[in-house]
Structure 1
Amino acid sequence: MPSNEHARDPYLPPATQPVRGVVWAIHLAVPLAGLWLLLAYPDRLNIRWEHPPSHFLLIVAVAGVNVALGALISQAATRRGDARLLLVSLVFLSSAGFFLLHGLATPTVILDQGSYGFDIGQPVGLTVAAVLAFVSSLPLGERAAAAVLARGDLMRAALVVVLVAWAWASLVEGLTPLSAQPPQGGATIGVVSWIGAALYALSAVMMFRIHRRRPSAMLVSLVTAYALLGEAMVAGFYRPNWLMSWWEWHLLLTLAFVFVAYSAYIQFRREGSSQGLFDSVALAATVRRIQAQYDEALEELVGHLRRMGESGTGSKAPIATRLAGKFRLNEGQAAVLDRAGQALAAERELSTRLGALVDVGRQARVGLREEAMVAGALERVREAYGDVRIGLVSNGRVAVGSREFTVDDFKETEPITGGGAVVHPLTVKGVLAGALEVPVGTTRQDEALAATLASQLSIALENARLYRELETLFRQYMSPDVAASLLADPDQAALGGSLVELTALFADLKGFTSFSERVAPGEIVEMLNRYHAAAVPCVLRHGGTIVQFVGDALLALFNAPATQEMHAAQAARAALAMQEAAEEIAAGNPGYPRFRIGINTGMALVGNIGSPELRGFNAMGDAVNVAARLEGMAEPGTVVIGATTREQIGEGATVRSLGALSLKGKEQSVEAFVLTALA
């Protein structure tokens, strides 16, 4: 025969679930099949066996078990503040109470003969329990659950009053019809039994749906108990008393209660505590609250363990003992909680350190200076690694805290251990550039993590110095946008380009040639540098990219290579700002030439132009050529814009029309405007 070990394990592989479902269905179908056989063959199978003492002892024993279950569930309901557990406890208490009254009314025990109370006591109790079972299986909302809990004591008291009143009416002869002798064959509650059976069936189905979401042995036992109670109501419909069909519903009640009791016992043996026996039956909100409490307790333990690890002092016993008392854990469970806390603390520490490594890698980005990188990395890694220190090489020596090292101290880049810390070298292109001091770790991952951190910091340090060199060499020869784009994607340096809409700005100095003829070359350079020093920030501040300087002229692009909204308006603002800055320079230097600026918007081919040996970033197209021609038509100190630029700027521009101009190289005339102000 196959082992029945899996029958006690609620957490089975998915492959075993269909088998368990079939076995469970067979267990529920067998009693109904047995009832059918008893009714189909009354003479041979449905025999009469009247033995009041056996009946009384059976009921008293089962009712006692059921009362104990109801009390346990009621205690869990009070402890958890859960409405479903309260209702389930009332299911067991009401069915147990009426079952006990049925036993007390057994003929020849207290009464000399049977009574209505004896016959219908248990069906009535099962019907009351069926209503409670149905309500308990509903997905009670927050308000409904609160209303049930608020009336918990009232419902318990009402149940006690009903049971006492039923006992008095059934056991005191001549007091009420319940103590009178029933008709021949016994009494039933008729169609109400079928209503109760239907309620139990619905309750079992809805509880099974909860089990599908939260699999547990206790929910399975409760589903089975509800189903068996429903079958007991069906079996109890068939009379007369003392026949095998009558005894069957007693057996079904016994199986229902004992099944739940057995499941609770197995879970108690497994966990060693009654604290969470019925938590799986609780409402979803209660389960979430319980889980939050467990998470909070575990976090408290983890925090305590981490603080112990940082300080190196303290005992974990007080916190573990307090949590064990709070959640009523036995010694084994407290030990498991302790190990789980240590494992989670180690995992959190590992995650924190890995996160610090990632953050250090992020700091190794374009434009971050070495000092800022080191300061930021030091602040971040100290959160994860403790008292970390970083020192950089200066005059062939590196100081880390109170310790000082030379290049020769690090042979083959091996770390140096001592003083409760490990010192790892930081290298740039294989040459010692600094040192990292990390406290000695306590786990086997600490050494590897510290080495990885040193490697990551070395890369970040090398990148910071490389970008500083690029800042000095690369960026001074091109726009920051172009430099950043090339650093992020070197493939952009390939020859070729793409067609985009842009706004081109041409500017040069009117009268530069005559000025150059009458002054010394040094003064020419000084004048150009002063003008360009004022003009370049105006372009960059408005998102433009300066493509080239040609003597006294410059070309700037807007919306290329970086995408830019309202690029025509930005180019116009940059041009007006350039003229304002140039006027201030010219006012203090009589005889200086003046800027003239031309702007035009349109499609152009933007990309790298040249040869494999030497190339430059530029733009080509009619829109750029027209901007150059407009600049040539402009008067000193003015800004001339094309019609497309004027249209994209909108109503905020103050312009003076120049009409349709005939430009060199253009067959058709071009409408132009002098821009004087921009809102």
Structure 2
Amino acid sequence: MPANDLVSAPIQGQPRTGPYLPPATQPVRTVVWVIHLALPMLGLWLLLANHDDLNIEWHDNFGHFLLIIAVAGINVVLGAMIGQASARRADARLLLVSLVFLSSAGFFLLHGLATPQIILPKGSYGFDLSQPIGLLIASVFAAVSALPLNERAARAVLRSQIWLRGGLVLVLVGWGLASLVPGFTALSDPSPPLGAGLGGFEPVGVVLYAAATAMMFRLHRSRPAAMLISLVTAYALLAEAMIAGMYRHNWHLSWWLWHLLLTLAFVFVAYSAHLQFRREGSSAGLFDSVALSATVRKIRAEYEEALEELVGHLRSRAESRVPVATRLAGKFGLTEGQAAVLDRAGAALAGERELSERLAALVDTGNQTRVGLPERELLTLALDRVRQAYGDVRITLVADGRVAMGAREYGPRDFPGNQPVRLESTIVHPLTVKGRLAGALEVPVGRTAQDAALAATLASQLSISLENARLYQELSTLFRQYMSPDVANSLLADPRTAALGGELVELTALFADLKGFTSFSERAAPGEIVEMLNRYHTAAVPIILSNGGTIVQFVGDALLALFNAPARQADHAAAAARAALAMQEAAEEIAAGTAGYPRFRIGINTGLALVGNIGSPELRGFNAMGDCVNVAARLEGVAEPGTVVIGQSTFDQIIPPPTVRPLGDLALKGKEEPVRAYVLSGLP
């Protein structure tokens, strides 16, 4: 895997495969690049502006031939390498770039072969026109290569590659025969001393190269890479070579200048490829940074897939990593050093993944500690989640003062100062509740450097969760024996609800007592009285709770229940009525089996009341105060044994209307206005 792809990162939301250039160095590189391009043009201007003094003639046929052969050879090698990369990546841009180098190199070579006194005795039209024609053809390939080709266009280019390469070869062979075989065509005839030109087509090539340079530079800005900037420089120098070639003073310094520009264009790319090859030790990804964006994304996806495969292999803890490393090295053309780097990167990433998963498991374990969650359920949920991240984790609770963990047993003395026990591949931490041993946690260690610390944190988290679960269970059991479940749940969830104070709430109050309790108490033994009360309340309490009521007090044989406080109910009046009728049915069954037992009488009323904690900072209770509660108590007082009396406000809120017997307007104690009441006998 090329090193530049290993360190690549998106820039401005696009993928990048070249080595990252820090922001501070980019302006410096840009200045150097501009100087490289400006100096040749400055030299051309000096040569042409002072023709007689500086633009001297230097005639060296054999030196010219050797220069062309060397530069063309380098260019052919570059074109072939880029062509191989285009075939390996199936990338249209790399194919077109390879044709830029091959076409310019081919015609440059033909220009060298046409050097006077090498094959032909004198200069010829072929000698003058070979390189301008080659540069013009290459400019077309360069301009198309810089375009952001879409998928359809790229496929069309790849389908035409045989025709493009074959056509280029035929053109080169035909041009060589025409320009090197004496008398074959006019191209082998001697040309004028000032040389032949393209008849004004040179500016077309300059424009195409300029466009290709601008587009390639824009691509370099989005994903900086040394190979891309070298290609930008090469395209710009080829444009300058066309400009310099327009001044056809053969064998003068201005004529040699375009040879130098061509040489620099190819050498820039060759040198960048050489440096990258030395850095990476492989030619597999030398030109990946030049490829189309779709190809770059595909390459990155392949690398990510390979890295994920290696990470998965490392995390599975297979005995040998050689098969995977060998296969990946062969697939991506990695050197031994690159495979080792990839192996270390995979191991580091696998460790980071495991660390992240274990930290997430710790967070989830803490989130599972909730009010009312049973201890066994809590530990089961925590164990299932923890095993996903930590592997074979085991939790065991104390039994008979010992913790049996597989074939081993642990007691308080095995964990002095609550320190863990370190085994060969696991570590055993004590789980404590209120400072005492409550269980043990066994966690595998050795996979990451943080295993021991994570295991200690996990044990601490589970100890807190276990202690909280038991504390909640104790509080819940204690509270529910002395108050309504709604009040208990509210206090457990938010202790601030125990503060003194209250709020005005519309509620339905239910008062119930046993008519005849006083006379029964006079003739019954204390134990029999308690038994009788417990039987009635044991039947009444579940009925009230199942209908959403809250019992706020027991006073001897009487009880007060509230509906719509503290828990809200939309149909609290109907719920209170259902509960009252069910209580009377249950009371009749109790009284029917025992002679002399008293009967319930119940009063219900709906209205506003002040609901909250009433008392002092030292002792308080949840209660309701208000006229509606007082009326409910008065209605209970006028009810006959075995009946339920409801006020007008309750009757109005039960829809459809209940079955009742009107009692008319009652004058109740403490009320100036009469209260209309009804005897409730049934609900729709």
TM-score, length-scaled by structure 2: 0.82
SS in 2 for 1:553: strand
**Which of 83, 86, 89 is residue 95 of structure 2 equivalent to?**
86
Q: CA deviation at 1:280?
A: 1.4
Q: Is the 8 A contact 1:47 1:244 kept in 2?
A: yes
2:31 corresponds to: 22
State how far apart, in whole Å, the 1-side matches of 2:188 and 2:180 are.
6
**Which of 568, 571, 574 is residue 570 of structure 2 equivalent to?**
568
Q: Is the 8 A contact 1:597 1:640 kept in 2?
A: no
Q: Which has the higher contact order (CA 8 A, sep 6+)?
A: 2
Distance of aligned partners of 1:508 and 1:149 in 2 relative to their CA distance in 1, 3 Å threshold: farther
State how far apart, in whole Å, the 1-side matches of 2:131 and 2:674 are.
107
- Segments of 5+ residues of structure 2 without an aligned counterpart are 1-17, 522-528, 593-597
Q: CA deviation at 1:337?
A: 1.7
State how far apart, in whole Å, the 2-side matches of 1:546 and 1:151 are.
84
2:367 corresponds to: 362
**Which of 383, 394, 417 is residue 389 of structure 1 equivalent to?**
394
Residue type at the aligned position of 2:357: T
Q: Is the 8 A contact 1:503 1:568 kept in 2?
A: no
Residue type at the aligned position of 2:285: G
Deviation readout 1:364-399 (Å, 9 max, x if unpaired): 222222112222233333333333322211222221
Greater shift, 483-492 or 46-55, is seen at 483-492
State how far apart, in whole Å, the 1-side matches of 2:584 and 2:141 are.
92
**Which of 221, 234, 246 is residue 225 of structure 1 equivalent to?**
234
Q: CA deviation at 1:343?
A: 2.1
SS in 1 for 2:561: strand
1:546 corresponds to: 550
2:4 corresponds to: none
Distance of aligned partners of 1:246 and 1:536 in 2 relative to their CA distance in 1, 3 Å threshold: same
Greater shift, 210-219 or 581-590, is seen at 581-590
**Which of 390, 409, 417 is residue 414 of structure 2 equivalent to?**
409
1:269 corresponds to: 278
Residue type at the aligned position of 2:552: Q
2:248 corresponds to: 239
State how far apart, in whole Å, the 1-side matches of 2:297 and 2:281 are.
23
Q: Is the 8 A contact 1:641 1:675 kept in 2?
A: no
1:197 corresponds to: 206
Distance of aligned partners of 1:515 and 1:22 in 2 relative to their CA distance in 1, 3 Å threshold: farther
Deviation readout 1:617-636 (Å, 9 max, x if unpaired): 56778999999999999994
1:447 corresponds to: 452
Q: CA deviation at 1:263?
A: 0.4
State how far apart, in whole Å, the 2-side matches of 1:573 and 1:130 are.
90
1:504 corresponds to: 507
Distance of aligned partners of 1:70 and 1:642 in 2 relative to their CA distance in 1, 3 Å threshold: farther
SS in 2 for 1:546: strand
Q: CA deviation at 1:582?
A: 5.2
Deviation readout 1:116-175 (Å, 9 max, x if unpaired): 433333223223322322222222223332332232333222222232233333334454
1:257 equivalent in alignment to 2:229: no
Greater shift, 68-77 or 195-204, is seen at 195-204
State how far apart, in whole Å, the 1-side matches of 2:343 and 2:675 are.
83
Q: Is the 8 A contact 1:413 1:425 kept in 2?
A: yes
State how far apart, in whole Å, the 2-side matches of 1:443 and 1:305 are.
12
Residue type at the aligned position of 1:507: L
**Which of 552, 555, 567 is residue 562 of structure 2 equivalent to?**
555
Q: CA deviation at 1:663?
A: 12
Q: How does 1:250-399 map to 2 (within 5 A)?
A: 250-308=259-317, 314-399=319-404
Q: CA deviation at 1:662?
A: 11
Q: Is the 8 A contact 1:598 1:631 kept in 2?
A: no
Q: CA deviation at 1:588?
A: 5.3
State how far apart, in whole Å, the 2-side matches of 1:429 and 1:436 are.
17
SS in 2 for 1:238: coil
Distance of aligned partners of 1:202 and 1:480 in 2 relative to their CA distance in 1, 3 Å threshold: farther
State how far apart, in whole Å, the 2-side matches of 1:629 and 1:225 are.
104
Q: Is the 8 A contact 2:659 2:683 kept in 1?
A: no
Q: CA deviation at 1:42?
A: 0.9
Residue type at the aligned position of 1:538: N
Q: How does 1:67-78 map to 2 (within 5 A)?
A: 67-78=76-87
Deviation readout 1:54-105 (Å, 9 max, x if unpaired): 2222222212111111111111111112222222222222222222222233
State how far apart, in whole Å, the 1-side matches of 2:93 and 2:129 are.
27
State how far apart, in whole Å, the 2-side matches of 1:663 and 1:116 are.
132
State how far apart, in whole Å, the 1-side matches of 2:126 and 2:330 are.
47
State how far apart, in whole Å, the 2-side matches of 1:587 and 1:452 are.
59
SS in 2 for 1:474: helix
1:123 equivalent in alignment to 2:132: yes
Greater shift, 120-129 or 178-187, is seen at 178-187
Q: CA deviation at 1:299?
A: 2.2
1:429 equivalent in alignment to 2:439: no
Distance of aligned partners of 1:190 and 1:393 in 2 relative to their CA distance in 1, 3 Å threshold: same
Residue type at the aligned position of 1:557: N
Distance of aligned partners of 1:392 and 1:112 in 2 relative to their CA distance in 1, 3 Å threshold: same
Q: Is the 8 A contact 1:549 1:555 kept in 2?
A: no
1:649 corresponds to: none
Greater shift, 409-418 or 229-238, is seen at 409-418
Distance of aligned partners of 1:597 and 1:496 in 2 relative to their CA distance in 1, 3 Å threshold: closer
TM-score, length-scaled by structure 1: 0.82
Distance of aligned partners of 1:524 and 1:606 in 2 relative to their CA distance in 1, 3 Å threshold: closer
Q: Is the 8 A contact 2:511 2:633 kept in 1?
A: no
State how far apart, in whole Å, the 2-side matches of 1:177 and 1:633 are.
134
- Segments of 5+ residues of structure 1 without an aligned counterpart are 1-8, 540-544, 647-652
1:6 corresponds to: none
SS in 2 for 1:506: strand
**Which of 153, 161, 185 is residue 162 of structure 2 equivalent to?**
153
Residue type at the aligned position of 1:548: V
Residue type at the aligned position of 1:27: H
Structure possessing the higher radius of gyration over alpha carbons: 2
Distance of aligned partners of 1:419 and 1:214 in 2 relative to their CA distance in 1, 3 Å threshold: closer
Q: Is the 8 A contact 2:110 2:176 kept in 1?
A: yes
1:532 corresponds to: 541
Q: CA deviation at 1:35?
A: 1.4
Q: Is the 8 A contact 1:586 1:594 kept in 2?
A: no
Greater shift, 356-365 or 165-174, is seen at 165-174
Q: CA deviation at 1:426?
A: 1.5
SS in 2 for 1:568: coil
Q: Is the 8 A contact 1:582 1:595 kept in 2?
A: no
Aligned length: 643
Root-mean-square deviation (CA), in Å? 4.0
State how far apart, in whole Å, the 1-side matches of 2:202 and 2:657 are.
95
Q: Is the 8 A contact 1:638 1:675 kept in 2?
A: no
State how far apart, in whole Å, the 2-side matches of 1:245 and 1:22 are.
25
Distance of aligned partners of 1:329 and 1:10 in 2 relative to their CA distance in 1, 3 Å threshold: closer
Deviation readout 1:606-652 (Å, 9 max, x if unpaired): 76554322344567789999999999999948797689979xxxxxx
State how far apart, in whole Å, the 2-side matches of 1:654 and 1:246 are.
109
Q: CA deviation at 1:357?
A: 2.4
Distance of aligned partners of 1:536 and 1:487 in 2 relative to their CA distance in 1, 3 Å threshold: closer
State how far apart, in whole Å, the 2-side matches of 1:133 and 1:452 are.
61
